[in-house]
Amino acid sequence: MITDTSALRPWQVIIGGIFGLVLTIGLGRFAYTPLLPVLQLQTGLNDASAGALAAINYAGYISGALAAAWIDDVRWRHRLYSMGLWLSILTVAGMALSTWLPAWALWRYLGGLCGATGMLLGAGLVLGWLMQQGRRPELGLHFIGIGLGIVVSALGVWAVSHVWASWSSQWLAMAAIGVVFFVPAWAWRPPVPPAPAPASADAAIHKVSRRWMLTMAGSYFAAGWGFVISATFTVAIVEREPALAGEGALVWAMVGLAAMPAVFLWDKVARRWGDTRALLLAFGLQTVSVVLPALSGSLAAALGGAVGYGATFIGIVSLTLALVGRRAPHNPGKAMARLTLSYGAAQVIAPVVAGAMAQATGTFKGALWLTAAVMAAGMALLATMPQEENH
């Protein structure tokens, strides 16, 4: 049963949504990144398998996006978002229960489903609430939860690693940290919006031209590729540089710290320059951030890449989802989910390709250069955005 959240104050809905992202994305997804080196060291997990687990996580994410794209009932969307909150804690704790690869695959798949509920259903509920309240329909403040989640995962892993050396104990400790965010996220879930008339919802979605949607889907595929490579392998890449051993958590924390204020800055850039120009700038800067670690193994390059990545991937996600959500105001989460299918497809393919390349060559540099090329192709596609939709 869904509790009555109609009496919630605006700040509670905002904080509840932020903490929901910390839980479903920050811990349910991103805890894997700083925990990957110790997982590989103590269990013998190789690069190809690590990449496969990341791909399975995103297979779960894209499965959740598919469901979100077709579920119209707003009460069911709210129920599934609620389910994703508590299931996120179980998926993190479940990783500690065995070293059986299929079991890990199951937990990562379920974690991906939870990520979709937090990212798409949660964002849709929050955006819908903002529009109903007559507030500015932007997701910058909401998506601060992604950057905060990265910081929590980085600092959390750094802290628990000084208390427990065992990889399994560290996973359980991260699940315990998740409980702290679960309580307010559950209590302050966005209220259930009024159900729109089916004809109104369909009409809103069909106002988006097919060419616009295909262009955005192609560029968002490239964005998903750039996102997942850094999200999965940043800490592993840093830890393999002899001069940077032990600095992985620091670099990962920098990603989150850069992401948190960036969400506000990208909203301002979009207001001044327009959505498409803001997205092109974010794509370009992220491409540079991907190339830096490939050019140099120094700490400066690692930190520069981390800051650039953190400051841009969140902007790309926030701007894109808010843009499509505004074009489908009666059911923004559904429209976001349809576009996210391309983002999710890249998240499934890219880790497998990168993991296999690293396994074959012993380095992630080739995967980073490939990622930069994919991002550049996404920029080129975004530059062809139909002018009538470019605002």
CA atoms within 13 A of residue 339's CA, in its CB half-sphere: 34
pLDDT, greater one: 333 or 224? 224
C-alpha span between 383 and 390 (Å, rounded):
10
List, for residues 317-352, the tens digit of each pLDDT value.
888 877 777 776 666 666 777 787 888 788 778 888
Q: Is residue 300 part of a domain?
A: yes
155: three-class secondary structure by DSSP? helix
Q: Is residue 5 part of a domain?
A: no
Identify the residue whose tokens are 């207001």.
271
List, for residues 100-136, the tens digit of each pLDDT value.
999 999 999 999 999 988 888 888 788 777 777 666 6
Q: Is residue 196 part of a domain?
A: no
C-alpha span between 230 and 60 (Å, rounded):
19
The pTM (predicted TM-score) of the whole model is 0.75
pLDDT, greater one: 391 or 291? 291
Q: Is residue 273 part of a domain?
A: yes
Token pair listed for 323: 């843009």
DSSP state of 196: P
Residues in contact with 85: Cβ distance below 8 Å, sequence separation at least 6, in sequence order: 20, 23, 24, 114, 117, 118, 182, 185, 186, 189
Query: 132 lies in which domain range?
Result: 10-190+204-386
- Residue 172 identity: L
Q: Which pLDDT value is given to residue 19?
A: 95
CA atoms within 13 A of residue 29's CA, in its CB half-sphere: 36
Least confident of 277-286, 311-320, 379-388: 379-388
Token pair listed for 85: 């909150």
Assign 3-state DSSP to the chain and report helix, strand, coil percentages, each to 5.
80, 0, 20
Chain centroid to Cα 48, Å, comes to 22
Kindly tell me if the per-residue pLDDT of 316 is higher than 60. Answer: yes
The CATH number given to whatever domain includes residue 131 is 1.20.1250.20
> What's the mean pLDDT in 287-307?
83
Long-range contacts of 194-199 (CB under 8 A, 24+ apart): 194/74, 195/73, 195/74, 195/75, 196/74, 196/330, 196/331, 198/72
Token pair listed for 98: 């065995």
DSSP state of 382: H
Of 317, 192, 339, 327, nearest to 267 by C-alpha is 317
Q: Are 92 and 28 in contact (CB under 8 A)?
A: yes
The total of structural domains in the chain comes to 1
Q: Which pLDDT value is given to residue 121?
A: 86
98: three-class secondary structure by DSSP? coil
Q: Is residue 106 part of a domain?
A: yes
Taking every pair of Cα atoms in the chain, the longest distance, rounded to a whole number of angstroms, is 60
Mean residue pLDDT across the chain: 82
Distance between start and end Cα atoms, the chain: 41
Q: Is residue 293 part of a domain?
A: yes
- Residue 72 identity: D
Q: Are 259 and 150 in contact (CB under 8 A)?
A: yes
Q: Which of 226-230, 245-249, 288-292 has the highest mean pLDDT?
A: 288-292
Q: Is residue 62 part of a domain?
A: yes
Q: Is residue 391 part of a domain?
A: no
Calculate the CA dihedral of residues 72, 76, 79, 84 and round it to 10 degrees. Answer: -50
DSSP state of 136: -
DSSP state of 242: G
Q: State the DSSP string of 311-332.
A: HHHHHHHHHHHHHHHHTSTTSH
